[in-house]
Structure 1
């Protein structure tokens, strides 16, 4: 019957995809069902999007709404694989390892599915019309975007920097490549490509010794930018590091440059691990720590709200943030409904993979429904961890256009958390809630400045969603491996800095001169969920390093002592000619600069002077003005301009076909950022362009609204912690610890990629050692 139906269709109803046509065949557009599921995956032969009949039967809904009746059903089943000798294999490292093909791993079965009559016919089969058979063959041959991303997993995108070109060499008279010229160390050696000086590198993960003499050589000779790790050299590998850019780089002419010093790469053999291999080893080591006192693997758990996320290649920063966010009530209620994807999202004629709200609903269903929180039967391990989900579409979409999050490199989880919250808020993605879910984190922070000359007071309020906590880094001792051991601190002690008064220099509008003043912060409203992040990053020799300071935490904290005192009866407000609070700093850039260890006033001055654009531009300005005598003076910016944008910016959007009124609103709401404005326009195609209501809901209006409803409890209960293990926040590994109900009892659960286990005492101790982001829930919720 299905064959007769296909033969009755008009020939022009479908045509094969071109080489540039996106073909989706890894998972369903609205859920995480894959070709490995019971009914396989249905790839629409009209629009080449993928749907599933398992779960919520999105194939049927798509066929009904769009009259797309013909699908290529693609189903895979695993071939029997040889048993492994070890109980638990190491995490796969895709360096110098041949990846198995799908043909080696799976049996594939394909059919043509006719949705209108709910019948299928095997493909290939005699009698299938040629145009349908050709379309099916083209779909199978096409490489999906998800697969391209998987191939790149674990590979860093290293590119040349400006200092990697036209290197003018000045060879030293004598060269001994067997040891560090300063300390005699015979491993972890780096050669300066400018002069050939041999110096040891930094101490590295895994007990690799180092005294940073290669870095010290660069400090003595700032124009000697790049060094190469001798032990990493082979025809297929070479670690090159630019100390000026503070990053791994590619050196295009490296073979010739090293030949100057008598080094022939074609004859060298790699003797030490590369930086990437060391980074991956950290992830593997973390896996080994997932054991109990007897050495057995911690107990996996399964069920609703207990779904793991497979690592997509240095994506654990993203996974840990998503686990924490979707454990927050406001996010789960906004982006998860048991009935599945909202109908209006299914009816959207566009590409679901490019709609962020659709991807958030897909994540909500994936993480909270429990359908994917099942043992992975495809693995040969004795202890079965989860199948989990692979949110490749979300990762690609959220990172699109961002210089860091679009790469396959490890990123800062805290920066990503703030970036994601900002993205959701700017695009007004409320899901099925009446208010934005990001508002659950918002609160009002008041800066109280009191002039010690006249006693006048300035109250400056800001709307924020996190508190960065300073960390005392008292070194107890330095180990034989060069690693510093720090004194333990308490999270409460870090919080005390929030309510501590500091003395600053202040241009008092009443005294009309520079005066000493006290500055103190306090909260005038309290959030539903509180984000705290200890500042574990510090600049040493202008290189950001992570402080492994153990932080003792309490699971219940009280913020009552940090409530703002406001204006007292014996205090007088200063004249309203200070407009510093009207300027809004780029928060992402500000957080990035603070994470590098720069003082706040220095960051403000740099951002304001460079147009408040991005962290890199501001950082370069800071380095160029290090000697300015006033660089750390109290900074008071000029008034921020009103909600206006340039005609050129509006024209650039109208040239893309957008209405001028709507383009103006998009630019105003996104502070003139063209890329974000375009995203907003695509996300709000039916907006009328009226900006009055949006301006009325400005931060100032939100502050008033929040302060009028500020009678919330000041007690908070710890619900989640994102931990980071590694030397820097852009390397190593992230995991999340969350409080969950397991069989009626509250337990700490460890989310380590797709591995979800009940945490034991030893793994909970990792929170003290490596806690990076703490999320507390208000006790009234």
Structure 2
């Protein structure tokens, strides 16, 4: 039967090594190669879609894009092979000792081309170009694996041993000989000597498998220093290269010329084997992260809608823990779960895997549909074991795109990721609905800052928007010295109420330049809640700096699981007997430090909350003030980075007499304005934010998202603060703990995050422990050592 008209008229896209190919999992749900009918890979744009209900995203993609041909890939597991099951893993893995555990040994791929223009019918026959396109997809590195490899990899550099290389093909050299090791029958993991063209297999593995060391032996016998791994050469002129002298992976800047010596043209090559970086990633996942402590392993495993685990991608526990707590919030669930189908039908993004909103909807569907919440069975006992979980790899790639830290595979701070996540959600939501549907509004609240001069007794009130609280934790040793274990510092537990009181307590500010007294005086400052959020996110600052190195403090915080009343920490606004300070004191520095002289009014004020946060980490006051000013009040993270970068500056402790201010341009950069307007911000607000941010787009975006440039006049905002806050100030101040993220480990630089979430109300309340893909009932939640808390308002 001849192929259909859609095949005859199809324009098949060429596939470069850098082209993202989504072939393991649907980009809009978590159906994958191992489920049902497999995954359809579009042969035009290489998007992956599920071909069956309920999503049927492959067909939806074809009809929206007009890309009608797809390669269906379904993976079927072979019969179990127990050979080598008793082998012990190596004590140490080195780069050329890595063994690829090939999927071909475990699985068989079933493939065929289908045409969605013919209702998904199978295509039999077809031109040679169609068969070549299908083979290219099968050999391509999966897009998510490519992203993970990029995150793991360090940037390779060249070395002198590739320069001026004296190449001379060995006598009798033939190109056909490169298909097999020159000393044995191995046909994969072959290394080409760039000096003489010898093809040798890789190193022998710990269990006797793998290569036979013939590549290494050739170097030992000849002293030829550099080689390239055959099977990793791409048409773009890249490949795995290794220098035995440096004993490391290197980049060969002259790869095309070096290969040409042996009659190999890079433009004709097709990558057919996994690179060293890809194999390192697999080993890291298999050995490092499967060995994490099994928190909750003795608890009863569970799987249900809202209780679906997230697989660890490698150091991704911070992301999984925060995502579980955030998507347990009803506003996030309602925004992204119920409306997923509508968004997928309307989304115009060319690649759903790179669309933040698509991935938010996908993750919500994966967590709440229950479709992927299934307990696996122990093959020996038949008892219910933990879930396999779903992979958040597409979500991570979209939400962390281009971020210098979250795009890597390194461990990150959970609180910093929460801040990044809410920012990315706000940006994505503003682009489609002006931000009116953004669920991050559940975190929004307003603080009231009160400052009173102790000489004239006049006061000033100021409101600031916030999305989280950084809670100081009181450090004190136990009263009984025998309670401390030998060589281990133990701290006495503190109550959550004590920490709240410390956060909102009065603070003395020396050297306040009072505009009424017209001289340095002493002032008292405090920060309280003007309004309360629907969900209060709280970071416990359970760390300190020791010799400029952050150290984790193991201080238990006694957190009640019942109602918590925050009413005592609500600001009351101006009182009848209070008189306001005049508004003309631009020199006033709430964080301390006199601003004398005629130029004082031009000095840049600092965010006192950020200054206090930095001081709690152990930095001296003057350094904190300088860092906040030098980073333009851009937040604690930017100020902390500045401090570490300038720690050795000779004037680090010298106060700024005239703090530097970025000169605001006479007119904002039109391209920057257009970029912010495209995100959904009004043009006037974008121009104002850019002016105040000195033309820096990133800082301007932070100002816009924080509401600092929403058009409200500062004087009006302060007047509202003095009046006692907004309408929300009358809302309930009763909160209950509904989720928390705990950090397991003694260091801030490494360890493991797990999440605990509460489901149900009243007598139906139940806690669950979520450790990556494993979810278990948690009869006795343990928030005492948690790092990040989520309190939900009881109304």
Q: Tell me the TM-score normalized by structure 1.
A: 0.71
Q: Give the deviation of 1:512 after TM superposition.
A: 0.9
The verdict on how the C-alpha distance between 1:590 and 1:400 changes in structure 2, with shifts beyond 3 A counting, is farther
The verdict on how the C-alpha distance between 1:32 and 1:741 changes in structure 2, with shifts beyond 3 A counting, is same
The partner residue of 1:617 within 642, 652, 663 is 642
Q: Which residue of 1 aligns with 2:136?
A: 138
Q: Where in structure 2 are there 5+ consecutive unaligned residues?
A: 158-243, 249-282, 591-602
- What does residue range 99-114 of structure 1 map to in structure 2 within 5 Å? 99-114=100-115
The partner residue of 1:608 within 625, 629, 635 is 629
- What does residue range 22-33 of structure 1 map to in structure 2 within 5 Å? 22-33=20-31
1:756 aligns with 2:754: no
- What does residue range 481-630 of structure 1 map to in structure 2 within 5 Å? 482-505=487-510, 506-555=512-561, 556-579=563-586, 593=614, 596-598=617-619, 602-612=623-633, 614=638, 615-621=640-646, 623-624=648-649, 628=653
The verdict on how the C-alpha distance between 1:622 and 1:279 changes in structure 2, with shifts beyond 3 A counting, is farther
- 1:709 match: secondary structure: helix
Q: Give the deviation of 1:77 after TM superposition.
A: 1.9
The verdict on how the C-alpha distance between 1:545 and 1:431 changes in structure 2, with shifts beyond 3 A counting, is farther
Moved more, 574-583 or 663-672: 663-672
- Distance of 2:436 and 2:630 partners within structure 1: 39
Cα offsets for 1:150-204 (capped at 9, x unmatched):
5578x585999xxxxxxxxxxxxxxxxxxxxxxxxxxxxxxxxxxxxxxxxxxxx
The partner residue of 1:719 within 720, 732, 738 is 738
Q: Which residue of 1 aligns with 2:452?
A: 450
1:290 aligns with 2:296: yes
Cα offsets for 1:359-395 (capped at 9, x unmatched):
2111111111111112346988964322322121221
The verdict on how the C-alpha distance between 1:11 and 1:116 changes in structure 2, with shifts beyond 3 A counting, is closer
Q: Give the deviation of 1:411 after TM superposition.
A: 0.5
Are 1:501 and 1:520, in contact at CA under 8 Å, matched by a contact in 2?
A: yes
The verdict on how the C-alpha distance between 1:317 and 1:591 changes in structure 2, with shifts beyond 3 A counting, is farther
The verdict on how the C-alpha distance between 1:350 and 1:603 changes in structure 2, with shifts beyond 3 A counting, is farther
Q: Give the deviation of 1:119 after TM superposition.
A: 4.3
1:364 aligns with 2:364: yes
Q: Give the deviation of 1:672 after TM superposition.
A: 6.4
The partner residue of 2:711 within 670, 686, 696 is 696
Moved more, 103-112 or 617-626: 617-626
Q: Which residue of 2 aligns with 1:129?
A: 127
Are 1:602 and 1:622, in contact at CA under 8 Å, matched by a contact in 2?
A: no
- Distance of 1:640 and 1:327 partners within structure 2: 42
Are 1:76 and 1:107, in contact at CA under 8 Å, matched by a contact in 2?
A: yes
- 1:504 match: secondary structure: strand
Number of residue equivalences: 635
Q: Which residue of 2 aligns with 1:215?
A: none
Structure number, greater radius of gyration: 2
Q: Give the deviation of 1:744 after TM superposition.
A: 8.1
- What does residue range 300-449 of structure 1 map to in structure 2 within 5 Å? 300-337=301-338, 340=341, 342-343=343-344, 345-346=346-347, 348-376=348-376, 383-429=384-430, 434-449=436-451
- Distance of 1:305 and 1:751 partners within structure 2: 11
Q: Give the deviation of 1:146 after TM superposition.
A: 0.9
Are 1:357 and 1:431, in contact at CA under 8 Å, matched by a contact in 2?
A: no
Q: Give the deviation of 1:675 after TM superposition.
A: 6.7
Are 1:713 and 1:779, in contact at CA under 8 Å, matched by a contact in 2?
A: yes
Q: Give the deviation of 1:351 after TM superposition.
A: 2.0
The verdict on how the C-alpha distance between 1:451 and 1:283 changes in structure 2, with shifts beyond 3 A counting, is farther
- Distance of 2:466 and 2:64 partners within structure 1: 42
The verdict on how the C-alpha distance between 1:502 and 1:588 changes in structure 2, with shifts beyond 3 A counting, is closer
The verdict on how the C-alpha distance between 1:119 and 1:435 changes in structure 2, with shifts beyond 3 A counting, is closer
Q: Give the deviation of 1:308 after TM superposition.
A: 0.9
- Distance of 1:626 and 1:281 partners within structure 2: 47
Q: Give the deviation of 1:640 after TM superposition.
A: 9.6
The partner residue of 2:765 within 742, 746, 753 is 746
Moved more, 494-503 or 374-383: 374-383
- 1:624 match: secondary structure: coil
Are 2:622 and 2:655, in contact at CA under 8 Å, matched by a contact in 1?
A: no
- 1:696 match: secondary structure: coil
Q: Give the deviation of 1:679 after TM superposition.
A: 10
- Distance of 2:696 and 2:627 partners within structure 1: 22
- Distance of 2:9 and 2:653 partners within structure 1: 74
- Distance of 1:587 and 1:130 partners within structure 2: 68
The verdict on how the C-alpha distance between 1:576 and 1:663 changes in structure 2, with shifts beyond 3 A counting, is closer
Q: Tell me the TM-score normalized by structure 2.
A: 0.70
Are 1:27 and 1:34, in contact at CA under 8 Å, matched by a contact in 2?
A: yes
Are 1:426 and 1:669, in contact at CA under 8 Å, matched by a contact in 2?
A: no
The verdict on how the C-alpha distance between 1:596 and 1:82 changes in structure 2, with shifts beyond 3 A counting, is farther
- Distance of 2:32 and 2:609 partners within structure 1: 36
1:70 aligns with 2:69: yes
Q: Give the deviation of 1:6 after TM superposition.
A: 3.6
- Distance of 2:343 and 2:646 partners within structure 1: 48
Q: Which residue of 2 aligns with 1:206?
A: none
Q: Which residue of 2 aligns with 1:247?
A: none
- Distance of 1:424 and 1:669 partners within structure 2: 20
Q: Where in structure 1 are there 5+ consecutive unaligned residues?
A: 161-251, 257-276, 292-296, 681-691
Q: Which residue of 2 aligns with 1:118?
A: 119
Q: Give the deviation of 1:418 after TM superposition.
A: 1.1
- Distance of 2:717 and 2:345 partners within structure 1: 29
- Distance of 1:588 and 1:358 partners within structure 2: 35
Moved more, 488-497 or 77-86: 77-86
- Distance of 1:8 and 1:255 partners within structure 2: 53
The verdict on how the C-alpha distance between 1:111 and 1:65 changes in structure 2, with shifts beyond 3 A counting, is same
Are 1:36 and 1:75, in contact at CA under 8 Å, matched by a contact in 2?
A: yes
Q: Give the deviation of 1:38 after TM superposition.
A: 0.2
The verdict on how the C-alpha distance between 1:62 and 1:320 changes in structure 2, with shifts beyond 3 A counting, is same
Q: Which residue of 2 aligns with 1:213?
A: none
Q: Give the deviation of 1:532 after TM superposition.
A: 1.4
- 1:458 match: secondary structure: strand
Are 2:605 and 2:629, in contact at CA under 8 Å, matched by a contact in 1?
A: no
The verdict on how the C-alpha distance between 1:732 and 1:281 changes in structure 2, with shifts beyond 3 A counting, is farther
- Distance of 2:352 and 2:8 partners within structure 1: 28
Cα offsets for 1:420-463 (capped at 9, x unmatched):
11232244449888442111111111111111111010112211
Are 1:452 and 1:515, in contact at CA under 8 Å, matched by a contact in 2?
A: yes
Are 1:666 and 1:677, in contact at CA under 8 Å, matched by a contact in 2?
A: no
